Amino acid sequence: MNKNQPVRLLILEESQNRAEELIVLLRTAGRATRAHQIASEADLVERLGEQTWDLLISRMEAAGLTAEQVVKTVRSMEKDVPVILIADDQDPASITAGLQMGALDVALADDDERLVLIIERELENLDNRRMRRKAEVELRETERRNQLLLDSSNAAIAYVHEGMHIYTNRAYAELFGYEDADEFAGIPIIDLIAGEDQDKFKKFLKSFEQNESDTEEFTCVATDGSRILSTMSLSPATYDGEPCTQVIFRPLTEDNEIEDRIKEISSQDLLTGLYNRQYFVEQLDAAVDLATSGREGYVLFYIAIDHFNRIRTEAGISNADLVLGDVAALVRSIVDPEHILARFGDDVFTMLYKGADKEAAAQLAEEIRARVEGHLSEVSGKSYQLTVSIGLSLITENTPSSEEVVSRAHRATSSIDDGNGVNFYQPEQVKVGEDGKSMTSEDVKELIRKSISNNSLKLLFQPVISLHGDDDEQFEVLLRLVDEEENELTPNQFLGPAEDAGLLEKLDRWVILQSVKMLAEHRAQGNKTRLFINITHRSLSDDTFLPWFSVALKAARLPSDAVIFQIHENDATAYIKQATRFCQSIAQLHCKTSINHFGCSLNPFNLLKHLTPDYVKLDGSFAQQIEDSNEKQKELIDMVKSLQTKGVLTAISGVESPGVLSTLWQAGLNFIQGNYISPPIENLEYDFASEDL
């Protein structure tokens, strides 16, 4: 279920304190709750009857109720409420006993970590069941509407199973001279085919079994013996939940020929004679559906003409169109008609290659590339030589959508340096470690999941120093993802995959919990340390985040100003409404905010018309550019003055050498940060008092 939706939770627990702990446990895991503590069996029955609940966590016995009674009550009322039991001891036999009662799982006493995993699993399973039930309702409604369309359609449609009619519509019955569609029950479809075409029909059926879609002309026989020349189209289908074959007969008339010609023209690109984009997308959607069901495989070709704008400028628009048509004709002469070739854009062709043979597809792509390179287009007495870049993407059962297929092939094309090449799409690779080991995006996603589960992510802390001798003890928290070989991945390498996998909120909360825990221990020793903690745009948009953080802060017994939430300028700009609301809400908790990497957008100061951060930290590129440029020094000084007139404290990261310190001091910056001051360290032990800049 959506994590922004609160979990409606029933708790059977004797101790109210423990019930509160369970609620906090869910909030800590990123789940807001709407909870009720069960007081009696009557209370349980009343609550189950009044609304839908997402979860029931129960002790083996409490409030005069046993776990077995709870499970029986839920079942007797036919409620889909996952019941999770908490054993009163650490005896593994309790798990078996609880499962025998009918609970979905049992967590042993004080094993809160496993309890959270069980809860997440069962909430996901519950969400899947609800989505399935919703889909079943929608499917029944769709089937009902489809049946109405079939019954009222002017097309002659039937469904056939093992050669026998199992459904025919009114138009089908009228075509063959029957008054009632039910009269087809038990009639083999071959009886409708004229004797001279029956061998042809049998071969056609065999061909259909291999190709799963086909059309052929047959002479058919009506009940009165009259002949009907028509086309028969077959396609796989289901009827009443059973696999069958859809049959459509279309009598051949002069009107049909005109209709077919209009349909053919509507699917063509008039300039090149190839299929147009709309038709190609329809065929691509169908191909993805076939591939995901495991029945067929394809390869998408994305063929982009290199530097075609230059040809258009040199030859003029009309002549450039002639060149484009000439290249299209050349490519069409190379490609077998079973593959679907289309004009996808101004200077882009696409092809749906039937079959999942990567080597054969790559060979064909290379042949197209070589033939185009060796071809001269003669137009208006001039010769033009073109090259193409061809990106290829497999369409298999793992393909998510037709849009993603095109995107992958396009990325494969774009990655060809200087054009005139062939490239198969490969999942994005992340280079890690000194040996340049590659990890795919999926590898990174799985590593993130394991690291969160195992608490094996790594935190580093970099001091943020006052330029004016103040005794502020401040660190920025930096996150690293560590692989099995102890290679560290930076946020630039793993935040993209994390966002794709929906893991940004979990990363944010993991960082905050671990940072707050370390900070609480450090401040307990008499330190006044504060932490800059980076959060992503997902937390800005999460309505449950601030209540959750408030609970975490109180649990750690930390003052509100001990944490400074840091928002990337890009996130604040892209999600300005959410960022504004977040800053206003966090101010009510008396926490502080900071905009990080400030100054890189087109109009950074426009952001401050909406946000009122306490700190603005300039991007590290400013510190790296000012040493040898008077212009950059003046730009920095002017920017800092403008920021300080708005009442914010200013900082800068990326200080790598002592040569920039005088300019930074002259600019009036409040704080500086960088490897010259200190590289990131693994703890909060840093002597701020001894810092002499």
DSSP state letters, 106-172:
EEPTT-HHHHHHHHHHHHHHHHHHHHHHHHHHHHHHHHHHHHHHHHH-SSEEEEEETTEEEEE-HHH
Nearest of 37, 298, 5, 254 to residue 126 by alpha carbon: 5
Q: How confident is the model at residue 3, as a pLDDT?
A: 60
- Residue 121 makes CB contacts below 8 A (sequence gap 6+) with 105
Identify the helix (H) or strand (E) that includes residue 318: helix 317-334
Strands (E), 364-490: 376-379, 382-385, 388-395, 421-424, 429-432, 437-440, 458-466, 474-482, 488-489
Q: How confident is the model at residue 1, as a pLDDT?
A: 58
Mean pLDDT taken over the chain: 87
Residue for token pair 């008077």: 630
Nearest of 566, 560, 562 to residue 522 by alpha carbon: 562
Phi, psi for 608 (deg, rounded to 5): -75, -5
Instruction: Render pLDDT for 513-570 as a digit per residue (tens, 0 to 9).
Output: 999 999 999 999 989 999 999 999 899 989 899 999 999 999 899 999 999 999 998 7
- Residue 171 makes CB contacts below 8 A (sequence gap 6+) with 153, 154, 155, 156, 157
Identify the helix (H) or strand (E) that includes residue 361: helix 358-373
Tokens of 416: 């060809």
* Ordered structural domains, the chain, with CATH: 7-134 (3.40.50.2300), 153-262 (3.30.450.20), 267-426 (3.30.70.270), 455-690 (3.20.20.450)
Q: How confident is the model at residue 262, as a pLDDT?
A: 54
* Residue type at position 184: F
Q: How confident is the model at residue 263, as a pLDDT?
A: 54
Q: How confident is the model at residue 256, as a pLDDT?
A: 55
Q: How confident is the model at residue 112, as a pLDDT?
A: 87
In this prediction, the residues of the chain whose per-residue pLDDT falls under 50 are: none
Instruction: Render pLDDT for 116-142 as a digit per residue (tens, 0 to 9).
Output: 999 999 999 998 898 888 888 888 788
* Residue type at position 4: N
Q: How confident is the model at residue 2, as a pLDDT?
A: 59
Which residue(s) pair with 72 in the sheet?
A: none
Phi, psi for 561 (deg, rounded to 5): -80, 5
Q: With H, G, I as helix, E, B as strand and everything else as coil, classify residue 651.
A: strand
As a whole number of angstroms, the distance between CA 693 and CA 669 comes to 14
- Cα first-last separation, the chain: 53
Q: What is the dihedral of CA 228, 232, 237, 243, to 10 degrees?
A: 70
> What is the distance of C-alpha 622 from the center of its chain?
35
Sheet holding 156-161, edge to edge: 164-168, 156-161, 242-251, 227-239, 214-221
Q: Are 516 and 552 in contact (CB under 8 A)?
A: yes
Q: Are 536 and 483 in contact (CB under 8 A)?
A: no
Q: How confident is the model at residue 368, as a pLDDT?
A: 96
Q: Are 60 and 89 in contact (CB under 8 A)?
A: no
